[in-house]
Structure 1
Amino acid sequence: MVRLAMILLGVDYLRVRWRELLMVGCLSVVLGVTIFCDALDGALWFPIMPFAALLLLEGVATVCVAWTGMGGQRTLRYVKGITFILSAALVLVGGEHGNFILSMIFGTLFLVDGALQMIAARVVRYRKWKIAAAGGGLEVAIAIFFYQPYPDHYAGTVAYCVAFGLLFGGWNMILLAMRVRRMAINPAVADEQPAGHATAAATTATTDTPAGQKRPLPDSFDGPPEPHEHVLTVHVWTPVGTVKAEARRQPIVDRYIAAVDRNGSISTGHAALETAEGIYISLYPAVEIERSPEEFSRILRATRDNDVPGLFQPDYATESAAWCPSTRQIRIRNYDPERLERFWAEYRRDTTYNLTYRNCSSTVAKALEAAIEGASVRAWGKRTGWKPFLRVATTPELWVAAQVRKRSATMAWTPGLTLDYARALSMLADPRPSGWVKMARLALQTMYASRQRWRAEKAAASNIYDTDAADGQDPGSEGRLEPPWQPVTDQHYPAKRPDAS
């Protein structure tokens, strides 16, 4: 999350607040260590029940306003709310059994995540893969700690989770403060530039006025962009949507890795980025890579011997005409075309293509990060104090984007992961109104429309009354239904028979 926070808030915004960030991070670490040590003996000082009640309240509130979201945002809100409600219910109702279940759940999550990270690092062998493998080993150790009952027989499960959250969150905040203290350039751009170019770009980035401030931003980001708006578009060709023959459906695998058709051919999909200013970023191998099942495991390694010449496609119209239209499109309003142009000028000097560490998806992800630097500050304003930081930190999409980025960095960027990453970043760059604010606004709009309708109906009824009175009719008699009965007359009955006597 450190890198994403730097990208979304911008180095300039964070540099002037690095001391406060450092203090908050240190305080978070101290609290985390204190709570962890307190839970070791089973006699908890940490208020478990009030915390569970707050967790339940947050879950219920999230579910109540989840319907105001859009697409994936709505789904994420529901998942978050239901997760909080179930976790709080296990604490409030379950007692020892609830703590045991929570321990097994958290342990399994850490175990799966750590094991996947270690396996991916061992297979792909990207840069710094040993550090990633060590991080996976730490997660496995935490999973074992949750699984075994020592020393408190699962009584401190919730406290441990809070402690780990404070520890990791505080550590990330300390790293963020120390990194932005002297940093002067977007890390997404710095990774791709030589030292001399990076210094020049840093000077340009801090002295020029970003184009994102020149372009007027809309008052509200709620809803998809209008056709006339200048937007950045992420094009994604999904693996299933690009196979030549009928795909053999494999859930998750054909969504995030590759799809295999009935003839055995593998399709990994594609990703590209396009802006209204004419920038088009799409890296493709100059010669088609053989992707048979036998060769796929070999070319999956992020090693130099798997580097091949690549080429950049000229524009979307040419690429889609030669292949097929993109399957999914993610559009973002709040981006900086000048920063993207500087990134693109440096990145396209190298046309190397590698299926794992420098492919179409990784290129789009880096370009997207360069384009949205400082997006949150542009959306909320530079002089709003800590509001941009708090809004970014409390948005669930930040956690989703961080997890997707972590998986991609430790494994490989794929079109499926790029699609999820772009969707999460679009929610952060173009922040939607708060769910409570949106719900209140919809309620007020409904009330106002109802009052307008009632007034129109009352005015129409008054006009009918005045017209009938002027014509000498009984006001309001027009259109009145006659009763279904008629006056009783003699003709309705037969004549009385004469008396037989």
Structure 2
Amino acid sequence: MVRLVMILLGVDYLRSRWRSVMTLGLLSIALGMVIFTDALDGALYFPIVPFALMMLLEGLATLAVAWTGIGGQRKLRYAKGTTFCLSALLVLIGGEHGNFVLSLIFGTLFLVDGALQIVSSRVVRFRRWRLATAGGVLEIAIAIFFYQPYPDHYAGTVAYCVAFGLFFGGWNMILLAARVRRLAANPAAEDPADVAASEVAMRASSSFAGAVWDGPPAPHEPALTVHVWTPVGTAKSQPRRQLIVDRYIAAVDRNGTISTGHAALETPEGVYISLYPAVEIDRSPNEFTRTLRATRENDVPGLFQPDYATESKAWCPSTQQVRIRNYDPVRLERFWREYRRDTTYNLTYRNCSSSVARALEAAIEGASARVWGKGGGWKPLLRIMATPELWVAAQVRKRAATMAWTPGLTLDYARALSMLADPRHSGWVKMARIAVATMYRSRQRWRAEEHAAAHARDAAAVTAEHGPG
């Protein structure tokens, strides 16, 4: 999440605030230690019931406005609201049974995530796979801590969760502050041409200040487009449906051929990023397992496609598109200028999806600061931290970093980032607007009905006075 927050806010925004971020991180860790220590003896001073009531209210409020979301946003709100309500009810039910169920839920989440991280890192063997393995071991240790009843017989489950949340959140803020502090100068200032282009981009981006949109860009609006060819949509023959696998990894057709899909990025300025192996990789089941390793022996020559029209004509149109208004064409052009010098292709660590993900991050750098940063202050940071899509994007990025970027993960990542870069109206604002519009239409309809009734009464009076003829 550290890297993602840095991308969305931009180094320029964070550089002048690194001391405050560092202080908040240290305070968060200190508070987490106090809450964790308090829970060890089972006699809680932590206000557990007020905390549960706040969670319940937040969950009910989220469910109340979930229907106003669009697509994945609606599903995410329903998931968040249901999770908050269920957790709060388990806390309020209290007793040994409620705390035990919560411990099982949290422990299982940590166990599954840790085990998946260990297995994927050892299979893929990316550059920092040992560090990822250590993180997975830590998650399994936390899962064991939740499973076993010592020392408080599950009475401190919620307090432990809050403490771990403060620990990890504080640690992320410290890492963020440390990274920003090391970036003493803006790399864009090194090239005079980039400086001039950045000034033009800053003037153009002023139109994004305070902007909030009702939905994705219209077809006629200029926007960055992420094209995704899903594995199922690009299978040569009828695929064998496999839940989750054919969505995020690969689809296997009835002939045994593996389809991994594809991803590309396109902008109105003419940038088109689509990396493909120059020679088709053997994707039979036996060879596919070997090529998953992110090692040098699996590097092959790659080829960048010229444009979307050429690629879609030679293959097929993309099956999914995600469009984003708020992006920086200058930063994207700078990234593309450097990235295309190396045409190496690796199925795991440098493929079409990882190329698109990196380009997308370069393009949306500082997007939240452009929208919410007018007048300075902490509003951009608070806004993105309160947006559920930040957590989704962070989880997708983490999973891709420990496994591999795939078209399915890239699609989810682009959708989450589009909500952060192009913020939508909050559910309450949208619901209020819908309510006002509904009342206005109802009033107009009532007036029309009253006018029609009055006209009918006048006609009846005239008929009664002068007769039917």
Looking at structure 1, the residues matched to 144 and 463 of structure 2 have their Cα atoms a distance apart, in angstroms, of: 92
Question: What's the offset of the Cα at 1:19?
Answer: 2.0
The secondary structure found in structure 2 opposite 1:234 is strand
Distance of 2:138 and 2:188 partners within structure 1: 34
Q: 1:268 aligns with which of 260, 282, 285?
A: 260
Q: Could you say if the C-alpha distance between residues 380 and 321 of structure 1 is closer, same or farther in structure 2, counting changes exceeding 3 Å?
A: same
Which of these residues, 431, 445, 450, is aligned with residue 439 of structure 1?
Answer: 431
Deviation of the 1:213 alpha carbon: 4.3
Give 1:452 deviation, angstroms.
2.4
On the 8 A contact 2:55/2:85 being kept in 1, the answer is yes
Whole-Å Cα distance in 1 between the matches of residues 457 and 211 of structure 2? 45
Does 1:208 find its partner at 2:198? yes
Match of 1:486 in 2: none
Using the TM superposition, give the Cα deviation of residue 232 of structure 1 relative to its aligned residue in structure 2, in angstroms: 0.8
Query: Is residue 2:54 matched to residue 1:54?
Result: yes
Deviates more, 1:4-13 or 1:376-385: 376-385
The verdict on how the C-alpha distance between 1:153 and 1:213 changes in structure 2, with shifts beyond 3 A counting, is farther
Against the structure 1 CA distance between its residues 291 and 105, is the aligned structure 2 distance closer, same or farther, given a 3 Å change threshold?
Answer: same
C-alpha displacement of 1:457: 3.0
Change (3 A) 1:451 1:390: same
Displacement of 1:382? 2.7
1:75 maps to a residue whose letter is: K
What letter matches 1:136 in structure 2? Answer: G
TM-aligned CA distance change 1:444 to 1:202, over 3 Å: farther
CA distance in 1, matches of 2:180, 2:197: 17
Alignment of 1:50-199 (within 5 A): 50-183=50-183
Q: CA RMSD in A?
A: 2.2
CA distance in 2: counterparts of 1:223 and 1:199, whole angstroms: 35
Other structure's SS at 2:233 match: helix
Question: 2:305, 2:268 → 1: CA distance?
Answer: 16
Alignment partners' CA distance in 2, 1:7 and 1:310: 27
> How many Å separate the matches in 2 of 1:363 and 1:308?
15
Change beyond 3 A, Cα 1:332–1:184: farther
2:442 aligns with one of 435, 450, 456: 450
Secondary structure of the structure 2 residue equivalent to 1:273: strand
Q: 1:201·1:342 contact (CA, 8 Å) conserved in 2?
A: no
Change (3 A) 1:243 1:297: same
Number of the residue aligned with 2:392:
400
Q: Return 376-385 or 416-425, whichever deviates more.
A: 376-385
1:362-404 alpha-carbon deviations (Å, 9 max, x no partner): 0000000001111112222431522211110011110000000
Unaligned 5+ segments in structure 2 are none
What letter corresponds to residue 230 of structure 1 in structure 2? P
Distance 1:104 1:210 in 2: 54
1:353 aligns to what? 345
Kept in 1: contact 2:197–2:330 (CA 8 A):
no
Partner of 2:243: 251
The AA in structure 2 aligned to 1:209 is: E
Task: For residue 199 of structure 2, give the secondary structure of its aligned residue in structure 1.
Answer: coil
**Please, which moves more after superposition, 85-94 or 152-161?**
85-94
For residue 89 of structure 2, what is the amino acid of its counterpart?
A: A
- SS of equivalent residue, structure 2 residue 424: coil
How many angstroms does 1:458 deviate by?
A: 2.9
- Contact 2:231-2:247 within 8 A present in 1 as well: yes
Tell me if structure 2 keeps the 8 A contact 1:32–1:162: yes
Q: Percent identity?
A: 74
Alignment of 1:311-460 (within 5 A): 311-383=303-375, 385-460=377-452
Aligned residues: 466
What is the DSSP-based 3-state SS (H/G/I as helix, E as strand, rest coil) of the residue aligned with 1:242?
Answer: coil
Distance 2:28 2:285 in 1: 48
Q: Counterpart of 1:240 in 2: which secondary structure?
A: coil
* Equivalent pair of 2:250/2:261 in contact (CA under 8 Å): yes
**Residue equivalent to 1:15:** 15
Q: Is the 8 A contact 1:246 1:262 kept in 2?
A: yes
Secondary structure of the 2:442 match is helix
Distance 1:172 1:121, change over 3 A: same
Query: Would you say the 8 A contact 1:210–1:336 is kept in 2?
Result: no
Shift of 1:173: 1.0
Shifted more, 423-432 versus 382-391: the winner is: 382-391
Superposition deviation, residue 210 in structure 1: 5.7
- Contact 1:13-1:382 within 8 A present in 2 as well: no
CA–CA separation in structure 1 for the residues paired with 2:376 and 2:431: 24
> Structure 2 length normalisation: TM-score?
0.95
Computing the radius of gyration over CA atoms, which structure comes out larger, 1 or 2?
A: 1
- Please report how far the alpha carbon of residue 202 of structure 1 lies from its aligned counterpart in structure 2 after TM superposition: 10
Match of 1:237 in 2: 229
Q: How many Å apart are 1:301 and its aligned residue? A: 0.5
Distance in 2 of aligned mates of 1:451 and 1:409? 55
Q: C-alpha distance in 2, partners of 1:457/1:354?
A: 68
Contact 2:228/2:319 (CA < 8 Å) preserved in 1? yes
CA pair 318-141 structure 1, distance change in 2 beyond 3 A: same
- Please say if residues 212 and 335 of structure 1, whose CA atoms lie closer than 8 Å, have aligned partners that are also in contact: no
The TM-score, its normalising length taken from structure 1, stands at 0.89
Q: Does structure 2 retain, via aligned residues, the 8 Å contact 1:15–1:182?
A: no
Q: 1:443 to 1:185 in 2, by over 3 A?
A: farther
Q: Distance in 1 between matches of 2:372 and 2:432?
A: 21
Letter in 2 for 1:248: R
Deviation at 1:360? 0.2
